[in-house]
Amino acid sequence: MTPRFPRSISTRLTMMSMLVSGVALLLACAGFFTYDQITFRENLVRTLSAQAQIIGSNTISAILFNDPQSAMQTLSAFKNSPNVLAAGISTLDGRLFAQYAKPGEAALSVPALPPGQVESSRFGNTRVVLVREILSEGKPIGYVYLRADLHEIDVRLWRYAAIALLVLLLSLLIAMLISSGFRKSVAQPIVQLAATAQTVSREQDYGVRMAPIGQHGELTVLINAFNEMLSQIQQRDDALQRAHDELEQRVSERTNELVSANRELEAFSYSVSHDLRGPLDTLNGFSYVLLKQYGGKLDDQGKELIEHIRSSGRRMADLIDDLLELSRLSTSALHLEKVDLSEIARSIMEDLCRAEPERKVEFIAPVRQEAFADARLLRIVMENLLRNAWKYTSKHEHARIEFGREVRNDRNVFFVKDDGSGFDQRSSDRLFQPFHRLHSTQEFPGSGIGLATVRRIIQRHSGEVWAEGAVERGATFYFTVGSQRSDSSGRPVVTRST
C-alpha cells in the first residue's frame, strides 16, 4: 500500500499544473479583454466622430441662416440612438445654438476645443464626450457636442468575465484529468521511491529494492542508481557485520586470555605471598637466632655480615608487600564517594610527626578539599606522596610541605609540594616506573614502587599525574581525579567519571 505523505509530490504536481493553466488562462483573458476595451473605445470614438461630421454638415445652413429650429430637428434624430445621451450645437463664441438631451440628463455645457485641434474626446467613468468643429468652406462656424453612454463596456465586461470563468473551470477540469495520467507516469514512481526509502530507513533492511518501471529517462536512471546504492550499502553492512562478529570473537578470545592471565597473576601473587615469604621468614628467623645465640662467638665482621643479611631480608619482605599491593590495585573494585583530601593529609602528617617528633617541618593544607573518588585508594596516593615529601626533606634542618589545589583549564589539579632534595626534570618520566629510582637506597631508602602505585590509582580514577622539580629546589607532584572541574568561584564541581 502506497503511504500518503502530507503535500505529496503528486498533489503538488496537480496543483502546479492547475495553477499554471489557471494563470495562463487568466492572463490570456486579461489580454483579450484589454484589447477588446481599447478596440471598443476606438470604434466608439470613430462612430461618434462620423455622427458629429454628419450633424455638422446637416446644420451648416441652419447656423448660417440662424435657424435653431432646423438644427433641433437634425439633433432629434439621436432619439433612436441607444448610446447618445445628449447632443448640442454651439456657435464660435460658445453660445448654445441647439441641444438635445434624453430625460434625466444634465444641461449641456459645450467645452471649447484646444487651439489647433479639429476634434477632441474625453472618457469618464460612465460617459464619453466628443467635440468637433463645424466647417463651412474650410472655416469654423461652430461646434458639435456629443455625450455617449459607456454602459455597453460594463455589459461586455460581465460577458467576458462569465466566458473567462467558464473557460477557466473547464480548463482546470481538463488539466486535472491530464495531471492524473501524468501522475501515474511521473509522480507515482517518485512516491514509491520515497516509500521504499522510508522503509529502508525505518527497518534498516537494505535488501529492499525499488521495482523498475517500463520507461526510459531520468526516473529510470534515478531508480537504478537508488537500487545500486542500496546494493553497495548492503554489501558494506554485511562486511561490517562480519567484521563486528569477528571483532566480538577476538574480544571474547582476548577476554578469556586476560581472565587466564589474571588467574595466573593471582596464582603468582599467592606464590609470592606464601612460597617466597615462607623461606624469607625462615632466613630472617635463623639469622636472628644465629645473632642472639652465637653472637658472642662471632667477631665484629661476622655480626656485621649477619646484620646485612637481616636488613636485606627486611627489604625483600617490604618489596614483596609493595608488589602485592600494586597487583591488588588493578583488580579491586572502586567505591566512589566524596573524600576530604585535606583531612587525609593532616592525618598522615600527624602520624609522621609522632614517628619523628625531633624534625622541624611546616605543613600547610586548606581546611577542606574534596574529590569524588575511592577513599581507600586516595589515602594510599596521599600517603605515598606525603611520605615521599617527608623522606626527601629529611636532609634539611627546616622543611616545608604543602598540600593544595590549583585550577588549570577550568579543572581542579591537586598537588603535594616540598622544598627537599628535588630531582632533575629531565628524568621526571622515570619517577612513576616500578623500581626506577633517582636516588640511591643509601641516600634515601625505598623500594621504587610507591610512585608507580600512585600512577596506577590515578589512572583507575581516569586522572593524570605528573611531577615538576629541580635539584635541591624541591619537587611538586600534581594529580587530577576523574572529570572533576571547578565553577566560576574556583570551588570543585564533582562529576562521576565513567
Answer yes or no: do 369 and 287 share one domain: no
What is the structure's pLDDT at 488?
Answer: 47
Distance separating alpha carbons of residues 182 and 195, to the nearest angstrom? 19
The one-letter code for the residue type at 352 is L
* Chain-centroid distance, C-alpha 249: 37
Answer yes or no: do 312 and 447 share one domain: no
Answer yes or no: do 288 and 352 share one domain: no
Of 278, 305, 331, which closes a domain?
331
Average model confidence (pLDDT) across the chain: 78
Answer yes or no: do 279 and 399 share one domain: no
Neighbouring-strand partners of residue 171: none
- Other Cβ atoms closer than 10 A to 363: 19
Answer yes or no: do 301 and 373 share one domain: no
What dihedral angle (degrees, nearest 10) is formed by the CA atoms of 437, 438, 441, 446? -50
404-439 residue pLDDT tens: 999 988 889 999 999 888 887 777 777 777 655 555
Answer yes or no: do 77 and 131 share one domain: yes
Query: Phi, psi (5° rounding) for residue 150?
Result: -105, 20
Answer yes or no: do 220 and 159 share one domain: no
Answer yes or no: do 349 and 435 share one domain: yes
Helix (H, G, I), strand (E, B) or coil at 4: coil
For the chain, helix, strand, coil in percent to 5 are: 55, 20, 25
Answer yes or no: do 423 and 454 share one domain: yes
How many domains is the chain partitioned into structurally? 3
CA atoms within 13 A on the CB side of 230: 21
C-alpha cell at 345: 593529609
Structural domain includes residue 197: no
In contact, 164 and 25? CB cutoff 8 Å: yes
Structural domain includes residue 257: yes
Distance separating alpha carbons of residues 396 and 420, to the nearest angstrom? 7
DSSP letter (8 states) at residue 78:
G
What is the structure's pLDDT at 434?
Answer: 66
Answer yes or no: do 425 and 295 share one domain: no
Q: Output the pTM of the full model.
A: 0.43
Of 165, 196, 225, which closes a domain?
165
Structural domain includes residue 192: no
* CATH classification at residue 340: 3.30.565.10
Answer yes or no: do 52 and 137 share one domain: yes
Highest mean pLDDT among 135-144, 293-302, 308-317 belongs to 135-144
The one-letter code for the residue type at 371 is A
Domain, as residue range, for 47 = 9-165
50-107 residue pLDDT tens: 888 888 888 888 888 888 888 888 888 888 877 888 888 888 877 888 888 887 776 6
Structural domain includes residue 171: no
